[in-house]
Chains A and B, each alone.
Chain A
Amino acid sequence: MDKKLMSVLGALAVLLAIFAIVMFGLGTTEKLGPFNFTVDQATLPLRFAFVVIGILIAFAVYFFTKENKTWEVGTREVVYMAIGAALYAVFSYLFNGTVFVVPSLSQVSLRPAIAIPMFFGYAFGPVVGFFTGAVGNMFGDALTGFGLSPQWSIGNGLVGFISGMVFLFSDKKKSMDTVLYVSGALALVAAILFFLNRTQANMTFFDPANNIFGDSQISLLAGISILIGFVLILAVRFGFASNENIAAAVTWGMLGNILGLGFAAISDVWINGFSLTAAVVGEFLPAAGPNLIFAAILVPLLVGAYAAVQRQSGR
């Protein structure tokens, strides 16, 4: 077995061991000081099975495609990683509501920065996308000076990573159809959860001027924004059917956004003790829904402009 594969396997084994210790060791005990590692014992094997499945899926993606050039990191990728992360950090910082107070519409704030990891992932590959999202989010948080949320940085990294996975498929069109079915189903499930839990608080909406700190009831627009976003992506996908790059960028960006932010929100079930409903309706929907709208509009603009640059420079 080659050295590279061994090192990847070693890293995954360590990750699995950490999960096992937390879930089977600390998870069976009562609260330890400020740390609550307790895991519902009735569903413990099922939960651990999902961790194993998740790690196996990630490994399988790499294993079956390890010969793909997408995984190579050269000078170009290193520079694009840095540019993507710096741009994401700067835009996140500027549009976080403290530097430029851009209006929010019915609890939907403008966070256009999310288009950056989607675009960089799609244009330069999953490794660049992951670095852009994860490191950019980390620096963006650090710039505002209020600490980090590692699981959300990884979630943002996954947005870029999954956006770049299009390179692993030889048939872009076929891959887009699959992505649309999967994303559509996930968006629908999340929207149904919203309609079943209309009184859930929007935990991402803060408006100190009106004494709102993530505790106001989620608005209809924020709740259904994932469906609006999906319809817009669908329109871009078929409206730009002749321009495969734009269609693929928004479609894969959508899946990255749903899975990446879904991962981050659902991790809060264990990290912050949220219920599944609170994580999905209160956190995931108001974050991921508007992002789809930004993706549908800004990613095509970036892909179109980049195509023009490529034509001009010949690279």
Chain B
Amino acid sequence: MLVAWRYRKRNSLVQWFDPRAWIIFYGCFLFSTLAFWDVRFLLPFFVIAWFWLLNSGLQWNEIRRPFLFIGTFVFFFAILTFLTGRGGQELYKQEHLIRQFAAPFTILGWRPTLDITVERAFFAVSQFVRVFSIAVMTILIPYSLNPALYGITFKGLGLPDKIAYAMDLTMRFIPTFGRDFQLTMDAQRARGYELEKISGGLIQQVRKLGPIIVPVTIHAIIGSEDIIDAMDLRAFGVGPRTWLEDLIYNRRDHILMAIGVIIVVLSITISLSGHGGFWVPDILIRWATGS
């Protein structure tokens, strides 16, 4: 359950950079990774993601839960892709069989069969490397960005004051509403409400969600009046906004952003020139075909 963003100040490489530079680098990393399916091109991104993670100053017990959750999920889907071949057929037309496992029984005349092919195996590996690299970098964001700097970061990325502040508030409200949801749910459970055991027809089921959705929403709106008053009393929106903390780019930030931009430009160029698509080693195909 969401309770609070897990940020704390750490003496680490990741937090050494300006948050704007880190976000821009993350954006470049994301677009670059998505440009490839070739595991040879994806491996450098996998290495960058691990380097970034190991230099984030995070302890294993801090990220164990999200890391295991995302890791297991990505691994599970990669295995499913490998077993079923789903998802990869758009990227390869022909499959080279390595081995076929057939069940010793039939079900209504159908014999369950598992085909292990070179393409399926490599697509699963490529998918795992691709998604896991992105997931590792994404997990780091809430741990390494200071919530007090959300607003100024978005402003620094070019958003108008009001929208930057709304983004800032959104990120601050998410853990609060997560907690409110849990409290409301506990209160309703004490009255015999069980979300996990909603029964009845479709309309009945939707109606039964009201005791959770309505109190959380209305409580949030009522609570907002104090925030609106406090902002009005400080003349919010009357003139250009000043921020409590200023962000100043250092040389290292420019270097990080330059690296990000170089990576994304290179990736797009390589990709547009027809490289980086799904790849399987020829040696494996030859081995599978016995030639």
Contacts and interface: CB of A to CB of B under 8 A. Distances in A.
A32 B272 contact: yes
B231 A82 contact: no
B221 A135 contact: no
Given A87-B177, A135-B167, A293 B272 contact: no
Interface in A23-67: 32-35
Which secondary structure dominates chain B's binding surface? helix
Interface stretch (A108-116, A182-190, A194-202, A262-270): A108-116
Contacts of A297: 203, 206-207, 210
Interface stretch (A244-252, A278-286, A299-307): A299-307
Contacts of B198: 102-103, 110
Quick one: which of B87, B166, B222, B274 has the most chain A CB within 10 A? Answer: B166
Interface residues of A, number: 61
Given A81-B166, A135-B167, A145-B66, A33 B273 contact: yes
A32 B171 CA distance: 37
B188 interface: no
A89 B205 contact: no
A94 B218 contact: no
A33 B213 contact: no
For the side of the interface on B, what is the size category? 35 or more
B247 to A, nearest CB: 21
A156 to B, nearest CB: 14
Interface string B230-256: 011000110000000000000000000
A78 B237 contact: yes
A298 B213 contact: yes
B35 A87 contact: no
A92 to B, nearest CB: 11
A122 interface: no
A90 interface: yes
A293 B207 CA distance: 10
B134 interface: yes
Contacts of A99: 1
B225 A315 contact: yes
A315 to B, nearest CB: 7
Contact of B217 (A81, A94, A116): A116
A211 B275 CA distance: 33
A19 interface: no
A101 B221 CA distance: 27
Nearest to B30: A147
Contact of B213 (A82, A83, A115): A115
A170 interface: no
A242 interface: no
A82 B205 contact: no
Interface string B146-179: 0000000000000000110111111111101110
Contacts of B271: 33-35
Contacts of A78: 162, 165-166, 169, 231, 236-237
Given A35-B272, A86-B171, A93-B2, 12 more contacts: A32-B274, A80-B221, A82-B172, A87-B216, A90-B177, A103-B205, A108-B202, A119-B217, A145-B135, A147-B134, A301-B213, A302-B218
**Which 5 pairs of residues, A with B, have the shortest CB-CB distance?**
A82-B169, A86-B173, A33-B271, A81-B166, A85-B170
22 contacts: A34-B36, A34-B271, A78-B231, A79-B166, A79-B228, A81-B170, A82-B172, A83-B169, A86-B171, A87-B177, A90-B2, A143-B2, A145-B66, A145-B70, A146-B131, A211-B84, A213-B84, A293-B202, A297-B207, A297-B210, A298-B210, A313-B222
